Amino acid sequence: MMDKISRVRVSSCYLPLAHPISDAKVLTGRQKPMTEIAMLFAEIETADGHGGLGFSYSKRAGGPGQFAHAKEIAPVLVGEDPSDISRLWDKLCWAGASVGRSGMATQAIGAFDVALWDLKAKRAGLSLAKLLGTHRDSVRCYNTSGGFLHTPIEQLKANAAASIARGIGGIKLKVGQPDGALDIQRVEAVRTHLGDAVPIMVDANQQWDRPTAQRMCRIFEQFNLVWIEEPLDAYDHEGHAALALQFDTPIATGEMLTSAAEHADLIRHRAADYLMPDAPRVGGITPFLKVAALAEHAGLMLAPHFAMELHIHLAAAYPREPWVEHFEWLEPLFDERIEIRDGRMLVPTRPGLGLTLSGQARGWTREQFSFPS
């Protein structure tokens, strides 16, 4: 007998950050400092007693919109076979097609899609990585949370050294300030402090124009960086492609794209050496796997953005050696922790994502919707 989805629950949870976070978008006046992350959780139950947990998220704005869209489309899942994930993605998409097939709409779908994959792996008694087919049992990782622009240089150096001592493999520094000399000073200080052997990345968060990006990329060549991330607007594929062709330092971008189709256009332009898809942003694991297949075919390296609790599984299944971004921000939401050793994250072996929501996550929940009610 076919198992069927019997209940769907969505929750809107707001995760407070310990300190206001500033990157280049704040220093250029385009955004305010980030103080919380809006999480959208989806929990799916079946008639046979199986369950799956998925999530999406939004920073600074969009959390209420994601939750509202998820409430509207959630009922179409009830009565369906949870194994038919690709078909259910299409059904969810068409249920809300009038608002488009990217952006907030697909981010709401992402929470359901992740929950369905989590459920499927649990039913198989496998971790998500094993269900997809792993190429490795650990993945290189780098820390971003210690390198934001609000951090003074001495603290920046201390944060970087502490991350390496903890076993994290690389350090990413935010750049893109109005005064580029400050960016150079900060990168040079950390490179000198850590030495030449430690992998360092930089991220301009889309805040340079083309002449500034060329100038800064040329200067940064001396620091032997793993990549320069988002030097230009996320949709300036031609500009990114020109930088990737001109400089030895790889160009990384893709985190702001919100569909597989947008990533396909980026790849067609050869606009990145490192592709940085974000599974919740593109609509979940189903479209992420399409992006990964395109990236592999194009010979690109992979470094998924944020949400290490999910992306560790997806990166483990990518044929070429990837990087995963270490952010401890989401840890209070879950009872489990990812183990880090010798510069790498160990892929969890628990069934599914290997995650359960913490009591703290329940406490930060502001709204819930269940169907049937």
**Residues with a known catalytic role:** 174, 305
Of 156, 138, 137, 136, nearest to 146 by C-alpha is 156
Chain center to CA of 132: 18
Q: Are 110 and 283 in contact (CB under 8 A)?
A: yes
User: In Å, what is the CA distance from 269 to each residue of 230, 244, 272, 273, 298?
Assistant: 15, 11, 8, 11, 11
Widest distance between CA atoms in the chain: 66
Strand 344-346 and strand 34-46: pairing? unpaired
Q: Is 366 helix (H, G, I), strand (E, B) or coil?
A: strand
* CA gap 254, 286 in Å, rounded: 17
Pairing of strands 200-203, 170-174: parallel
Q: How many helices (H) and strands (E) does the chain have?
A: 14, 14
In 10 A of CB 238, how many CB atoms?
Answer: 12
Please name the residue ranges forming H helices in the chain. Answer: 24-27, 63-73, 85-95, 104-124, 128-132, 153-166, 180-194, 210-220, 237-246, 260-268, 279-282, 285-297, 308-316, 359-363
In sequence order, the 6+-apart residues with CB closer than 8 A to the CB of 18 are none
Report in angstroms the alpha-carbon separations of 247 from 167, 227, 261, 270: 30, 10, 27, 14
Cis, peptide link before residue 372, omega less than 30° from 0 = yes
